[in-house]
């Protein structure tokens, strides 16, 4: 477990020391929240929900922040390849599974910290969680999102050598995942041909889990959200570990 802790600590320290990364990652979520939330709060009414549009999209924006931070943690794998750190790690007498798990937990921790920073800012502009327990539920779902999509980023980065190519591919994947997640619109109001795609998107269940924790309302049962997100986290760790083991040292 020492190698897992060491890799985790390295990832977290690199994140905390990169102030530009922290501040830059808050730009898009805050922009969407201010423009869409405040702009449409008075004119958009969510069917069947008493909450305003701002309260509806906040969980989705928080999930987006966690998603972006976690997925792009995979770029550290390519960075380490180019500068030789990964090769030195792979030839060491340690398990590649431990290295991958350390990277995954480090990226997920950074993503949760990013989400918590955003949630603190949201509290300052008027969000009131239903309870402390609800807030902790939201953090738990943020952690599951972080693990799932950090492992996805590592899995894809394990098969790539070009940092720019990784960014282009992940930008496309991230926007598809976020766009179909129901973060900005209610699932119940979707056309019949889009709803199955939304329900097949793992981020949908993360968003609804966070929404349940913060507001007590969700369009998918919270236990279903928990089961799906936990299953996706385990699956992506398995896939990521398999692809990571294929890296040539």
pLDDT 10s digits, 102-151: 889 999 999 999 999 988 888 777 666 668 888 899 999 999 999 999 99
- Mean pLDDT throughout 149-154? 92
In the block, tokens 């997100």 appear at: 229
Lowest mean pLDDT among 6-10, 42-46, 214-218: 42-46
- pTM, 2 dp: 0.90
Residue 112: predicted pLDDT: 94
CA dist 70 and 31 (Å) reads: 20
Q: What is the share, in percent, of the chain residues with pLDDT greater than 70? A: 86
Count, residues in the chain: 249
């Amino acid at each position: 477990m020492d190698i897992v802790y060491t890799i985790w600590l390295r990832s977290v320290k690199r994140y905390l020391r990169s102030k530009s990364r922290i501040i830059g990652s808050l730009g898009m979520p805050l922009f969407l929240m201010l423009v869409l939330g405040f702009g449409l709060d008075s004119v958009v009414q969510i069917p069947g929900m008493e909450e305003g549009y701002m309260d509806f999209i906040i969980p989705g924006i928080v999930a987006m922040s966690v998603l972006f931070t976690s997925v792009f943690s995979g770029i550290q794998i390519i960075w380490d390849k180019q500068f030789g750190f990964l090769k030195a790690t792979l030839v060491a007498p340690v398990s590649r599974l431990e290295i991958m798990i350390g990277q995954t937990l480090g990226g997920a921790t950074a993503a949760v910290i990013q989400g918590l920073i955003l949630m603190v800012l949201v509290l300052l502009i008027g969000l009131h969680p239903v309870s402390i327990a609800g807030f902790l539920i939201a953090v738990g779902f943020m952690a599951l999102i972080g693990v799932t999509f950090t492992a996805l980023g590592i899995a894809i980065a394990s098969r790539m050598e070009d940092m720019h190519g990784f960014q282009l591919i992940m930008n496309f994947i991230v926007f598809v995942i976020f766009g179909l997640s129901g973060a900005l619109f209610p699932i119940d109001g979707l056309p019949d041909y889009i709803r199955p795609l939304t329900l097949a998107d793992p981020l949908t269940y993360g968003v609804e889990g966070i929404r349940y924790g913060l507001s007590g309302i969700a369009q998918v049962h919270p236990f279903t959200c928990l089961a799906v997100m936990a299953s996706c986290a385990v699956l992506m760790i398995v896939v990521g570990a398999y692809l990571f083991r294929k890296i040539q040292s």
